[in-house]
Structure 1
Amino acid sequence: MDEIINFRTVHEYNLFNNNETLHPLVSVVDLDKAEPRMFRRLQYDFYIIFLKKIHCGDLRYGLNTYDYEEGTLIFLAPGQIIGESKDEYYQPQGTAIVFHPDLLLGTALGKKIADFTFFSYAVNEALHLSEQERNTILDCFLKIQYELKHSIDKHTKTLIVSNIELFLNYCERFYDRQFITRDNVNRGVLERFEQLLNNYFSGEKPYTLGLPQVNHFADELHLSANYFGDIVKKETGKSAQEYIQNKIIEIAKDKIFEAKKTISEIAYELGFKYPQHFSRLFKQRVGFTPNQYRNLN
């Protein structure tokens, strides 16, 4: 198995890239200062966002290469592995902002960092920036860099974290723009999702796999679960899980009219392990138990 280089601290990553450490928990890293190095698999114990400025193939996520372009942002959460090992050298270029989870302790951003789902996006899901958006991002980096170079005082942590949060909020806005500009692609994803759902219930998968899961369809569509969920949410106003449950209820209503089938048989056909779980969900969504709904109709 290929060796994984693990960076436990921000200081270790700064040393690796010939950058000075101005703060132990956060850094804006100029990757142009790094020496040419061999391709290796890398893991970080902190958040890291790359701003790539040229097309290159130096980083891989999982088994797939990111499509880098001018002004492309790639987000990694602590523990993720990126890169590949091969006997070739490359020159890192661009900028990275890195911050340790400990920086966020006791802050408002610490409580909402999990809401920025793009840290779990993967293949073909990087954020591609317009020139104006790129300038906005660079301005955020400059503000953070200014605070890092400023003498540390009681305001330092608050201002650094506030500027990181501002940067992430801008990224969320720019991702919303990207979802809109790729509307045709997203609609295609939704159409394929609907087809996969129909195929799921028309075959044996409810018996073999149980209730359909969001991860299953994300894998089928070659998307990360978070990116897939965000597409469904922006296109339909519902979470992917809610969309699946709506489909379950829709099919269940049809099956309930088949008088020869018991409610338990219907539950098992839909993938429920226990009929009472089906009855509970049905009542939550419809307002009646399956038996009550059958009698009413």
Structure 2
Amino acid sequence: MEQAYNFDTVSQYNDFNNHETLHPLVSIVDFSKADKRKGSRMTFGLYCIFLKEIHCGDLKYGCSHYDYEKGTLVFISPGQVIDVENKVDYYQPIGYGLVFHPDLVKGTSLAKALNEYHFFSYQTNEALHLSEKERKIVFDCFSHIQNELSQSVDKHSKKLIASNIELFLNYCERFYDRQFITRENANKGILEKFEELLNTYFVSEKPYTVGLPSVAYFADELHLSANYFGDLIKKETGKSAQEYIQGKIIDIAKDKIFGGTKTISEIAYELGFKYPQHFNRLFKNRVGYTPNEYRNLN
């Protein structure tokens, strides 16, 4: 039976990894100091970013595995549960991590910005793969944070540490943008599959049984987290995933309105709308005319 651990404080996680606690709310962890360990389940009440240095265990979130190899970053937010699976009985973790408690950033600019870093809720096959140059930048950021942790705590400490973490996360955002570009072929395959799923959805019974398709539905079908999927679609098309779905709904609606004799209410129900007035509102906002006005114009 796998061991289960719950980490609600930085000191708990430091103790687990044989690491000294220099600050109660933040730490840079060197995993080579940790004891060899078996597979386990870990629940975090902390923000964690792990940089893996060797292949020494697979991370699993829910039913799927992280795309987690040497030189990758994985982001974990409070409340997430991670399974560590290993092909051997014991393994020696090697790498580094930044862990910080949510209380660290309260009252700082980073507190407002954290929700904008979508990669904290990326889930499966979505780790950040670093180039050697990017890896050096990560170590430089960790070094700046560690240097600040080594200083005596004063009234400037919290602001400076939070600022350095925010700088690091901004770099990670840039690195993910690069990864979306360098994985363009794989991304186009996802976009093609998304288009296929959209088309299949509207010729099935799902609009009647499920209703309007959601971003979360297609992300789940493609085995991606909703945020990663949404960011990928935005990078590839310039539109949000929701805008892309609505565009498809409008295109199908136009064909039905122009080429058939069904009432607007019947068309709305066929598309998955529970109430025809919601369909009328969306159509007017996107096209500039109500469905009936569009029918009469054409």
- TM-score class, shorter: over 0.9
Comparing 200-209 and 2-11, the one that deviates more: 2-11
Comparing 254-263 and 137-146, the one that deviates more: 254-263
* Structure 2 Cα separation of the partners of residues 286 and 33 of structure 1: 61
Q: Is the 8 A contact 2:58 2:68 kept in 1?
A: no
* Structure 2 Cα separation of the partners of residues 216 and 58 of structure 1: 26
Q: Secondary structure at the match of 2:202?
A: helix
Offset of 1:174 from its aligned partner?
A: 0.6
The equivalent residue for 2:17 is 17
* Structure 2 Cα separation of the partners of residues 295 and 4 of structure 1: 65
1:187 partnered with 2:195:
no
* Structure 1 Cα separation of the partners of residues 187 and 58 of structure 2: 28
Offset of 1:106 from its aligned partner?
A: 1.2
Q: What amino acid does structure 2 have at the position aligned with 1:117?
A: H
* Structure 1 Cα separation of the partners of residues 210 and 5 of structure 2: 37
Q: What amino acid does structure 2 have at the position aligned with 1:238?
A: K
Structure 2: stretches of 5+ with no match in the other structure: none
The equivalent residue for 1:175 is 176
Q: Is the 8 A contact 1:57 1:65 kept in 2?
A: no
The equivalent residue for 1:56 is 56
The equivalent residue for 1:262 is 263
Offset of 1:258 from its aligned partner?
A: 3.7
* Structure 1 Cα separation of the partners of residues 10 and 190 of structure 2: 38
Instruction: For 1:1-297, list aligned pairs within 5 A.
Output: 4-84=4-84, 88-297=89-298
Equivalences, count:
297
State the Cα deviation string for residues 13-37 of structure 1 (Å, max 9, x = none): 0111111111111110111111112
Q: Is the 8 A contact 2:71 2:135 kept in 1?
A: yes
* Structure 2 Cα separation of the partners of residues 66 and 234 of structure 1: 21
* RMSD, aligned CA: 1.5
Q: What amino acid does structure 1 have at the position aligned with 2:265?
A: S
Q: What amino acid does structure 1 have at the position aligned with 2:240?
A: S
* Structure 2 Cα separation of the partners of residues 210 and 135 of structure 1: 48
* Structure 2 Cα separation of the partners of residues 58 and 19 of structure 1: 22
State the Cα deviation string for residues 78-106 of structure 1 (Å, max 9, x = none): 11111147892221211010011111111
Q: Secondary structure at the match of 1:142?
A: helix
Q: 1:159 to 1:188 in 2, by over 3 A?
A: same
Q: What amino acid does structure 2 have at the position aligned with 1:261?
A: K
Q: Secondary structure at the match of 2:107?
A: coil
Percentage of matched positions with identical amino acids: 69
Q: 1:195 to 1:154 in 2, by over 3 A?
A: same
| TM-score w.r.t. length of structure 2 | 0.96
State the Cα deviation string for residues 235-292 of structure 1 (Å, max 9, x = none): 0010000000000011111111145211110000000011111111111111111111
| TM-score w.r.t. length of structure 1 | 0.96
